[in-house]
Structure 1
Amino acid sequence: MLALVLGTSWLVGCGAEEEPFADYCAEVQEQQEPLSEALAGDGATALLAALPSFEALAAASPPDIADEWRTLLDAVGALRTALEEAGVDPASYDRADPPPGLAQADRDRIDAAARGLTRPATIAALAGVQQQARDVCKTPLSL
């Protein structure tokens, strides 16, 4: 009888543990197409276009990858903020030929935020969330 109770407790516990992954995996599948479309763009512009999907995935993510999502969201969000505060359109911004009248301080903030996307921590975070989707959900983040 004790073995039956312990076995049942284990099954209930196991189901409770899987639920966060089920919700997350459903979100991975839902965001796969929008992410694929967004990431088909170039560089930082693609990451900015992917930000809404990243935010949805981060909100649904299990605790074991919350730090990776936070790192990625912070980096992409910093670039979005720098561009918005400078009044610059991300799709047309050219660092080598910035818009006339763009202050050097704004250029410096945009450059710093863009460098943040290539930091080892940001690259590792992106790799981590991609690996999590493949390992746990058996689904890549993009097609």
Structure 2
Amino acid sequence: MLLLLAFVLAAIPVPYAWPVSPPQVTRRFEAPPEPWLAGHRGVDLGGTPGTAVRATAAGTVLYAGVLAGRGVVSVAHPGGLRSTYEPVSPAVAAGDTVTAGESLGTLDPGHPGCPVAACLHWGVRRGTDYLDPLTLLGLGPVRLLPVPGVQDGG
């Protein structure tokens, strides 16, 4: 599975960037041991209320509105990825095409467990699989993968 994920992420043709600036990771991605169990299916980025939340890459807005009491924006990107941002006061609407770095709205306070004035929860998934958004920036956890044809020497 990890080797497949490495190939999938290596094949992504679009550059990705931080959705807020300056980036301050306050909570990292924690994959649940099983899809139905608790985990943290994204990264929390600390910020200030009113900070611009930007599209991490070009795409089409799938959703922009209130969901479960929080403003949410979801963007579909080339290659089958979807990024989600919350809590956000959206400045875009479903169906809008956005470029990398374009403002999606502004950061709202109120993300549960946020240790600063406001935190953006940034999630990424392909289909039903949640991915660590930091891997899109080359900052995910380092994983050593087997090299085909090379034995472990033991």
The TM-score with structure 1 as length reference comes to: 0.29
**Greater share of residues in helix:** 1
Greater relative contact order structure (CA < 8 Å, 6+ sep) = 1
The TM-score with structure 2 as length reference comes to: 0.28
Q: Which has the larger radius of gyration?
A: 1
**Greater share of residues in strand:** 2
